Structure 1
Amino acid sequence: MPGLPSDSLEAATISRSMFVPVGENTTWLSFNLYQTNLYREIRTAYNSFNTDFHLQEGQITWDDHWALQAGAEVLAQHTQYLENWCGSIPGALKMRRQNNGRPFSTDGTHLSMEQFAPHWLQRQRVLLELTYHHVSINRYRPMISFKFRTPCDALPTPWR
């Protein structure tokens, strides 16, 4: 496995970019480093989920209550890793929210776009947060059942 990319001021200078550092030892390369770390955390969660749940041939996780519980416990272990990842993001790469909303949350607070922040930085912030939410939802996909278990007759009339 190759080493993680560097986001140091020296690496940014060597690349001959004209982007100025945005503070807190954060450069335009920091986005790549934190996004790569996010994908590493998610890959670890997926790999740990691919364990033997002792299912019978032809069964899926949803057919066995114990397998479903074991899968949920495996995925729950990785929740803290993602919270740690969110906490490690420098303030310069976090989307600001109105009314003291938390970055990377789904608390419903409105985003506060900084008027004078460079466009490249605003794009990196948005993309980092969208990527986080995308992989967080996908992490729970194995726990989402797409089977429709209710007979059609039990549905209210407008839904038939």
Structure 2
Amino acid sequence: MSTAVHVNTHAHAVTHVSTGLIRGLRRIVKESGLDPAKMTNQWPILESGVGTWLTSRHLRSLVLEIYDPSRRSGDDLVGRFDFTIDYGYYPDADGELWLDPDTVYYAVRKAGAVPSRCDYRIVADNKPGRPDVAGWSTTSLRSTAGFTRHEVGTAIGGGSLGTGLSYYARTGS
């Protein structure tokens, strides 16, 4: 007689990565000197959207845009952080779940200081056909013209899911 056990690691990975993404964004907000209360008030909506789109495999990246509301639209981006999703990160995954807080800390330090007058928003970049989630709407990302993207490395891993972290800084700064 033999016994077989099957564990749905994808469901566990989605929960872990979803939570890690939102916590990572919160850490960036706090470390950048921005007010995390705005994000805390939206936590259930963030969890619902990120979890739904990771499960359906529509989420390409979760983006934190930091902008200066006193500047004109189109020239108001101050910085940006992208958590890019890799659905084939570790195809033969053993179910290991991990988060590297040092990667987030490093990205914030390298991105530089944020003026106190800045605000932020979180944008989910999804593939076409994504399911609708209450509390989320469509939008466009701010232009990154004049910025350089810097890859930091993998910040979160869970089963076959991984997330790379990058930040944008003004070119020449």
TM-score, scaled to structure 1 = 0.27
Looking at both structures, which has the greater relative contact order when contacts are Cα pairs under 8 Å and sequence separation is at least 6?
A: 2
TM-score, scaled to structure 2 = 0.26
